[in-house]
Structure 1
Amino acid sequence: MVVAGRTSSLRITDLADTIKRVKAYEQAGVDAVFLAGATTKAEVEAVGSEMNIPLLLGGTTGELADKDYLGSVGVRVALQGHLPFAAAIKATYDTLKALRDGVPPADLSPQLATTEQLDQFTRKADYARWTTDFLS
């Protein structure tokens, strides 16, 4: 288990308050700090230089999209938005629209998950084992 102290104070208050909060989180014993709202390298460097635990960032775009740079300043997790969720919504919409428009289901199979992928993502083997272990 990892406990990450999260703060959005860069966008709510200021850099000095953010540093104060991060130091308090570290002193309280968190394993990492999730710094939400950072948009510049200067902000990340200023906060990161004041702590000795890993840094997590949300929304790493613009100048913060450089993974090598982020790793060099103590960032260990850099979220890139909710792209898989957005892609899943679009794929669902496109599939439902195609079906409504009369596209035969068989014509959609190239864009669908394979049986192997479905089994992996739904943990079919684990489920079967758990059913045997706990429901027999």
Structure 2
Amino acid sequence: MYEITAETVITGDLAVIWETATDVGGWSAWDPHEEAARLDGEFAVGGRGWSKPHGGPATDWTITEVVPCERWASECGLPGGGLAGVNTFERHGDGRVRCVKTVRVSGPLVPLFRLYFGRRIRRDMYRTFAALEREAWRRAGLERRVEGAA
């Protein structure tokens, strides 16, 4: 098993951050990691999605856990193994939210993830957190503050 984790604290309203992070169809508009994405059905356990990261293969995945405004998880199959992701959001007060993303890879592709994809995925996690913050501010109608903070 190989695990990749990144965490940061962003500012914004937790409900808007959650809404943005779980709007799968909108990911490619703001997330620099995602080229395209869709969700077939509701954002709920058992929901099936599809996403295509920039520079990576498209993947079908299934939502395995949803705790609104707190955590969601998904998993997909890999040849002889799998990839599972957990996204956690924790209110820190004063408009701050701690975001943690963990990806666990199992099976014979672990060495490939460890040597090639791991660093890139971790770097992209931080880029996604920053983009999530900007997009949540935009959706809340606070674009000027984000532009001034950049």
Taking structure 1 as the reference length, what is the TM-score of the superposition?
Answer: 0.29
Task: Between the two structures, name the one with larger relative contact order (CA 8 Å, sep ≥ 6).
Answer: 2
Structure ranking higher in strand proportion: 2
- Identify, as 1 or 2, the structure richer in helix: 1
TM-score by length of 2: 0.27
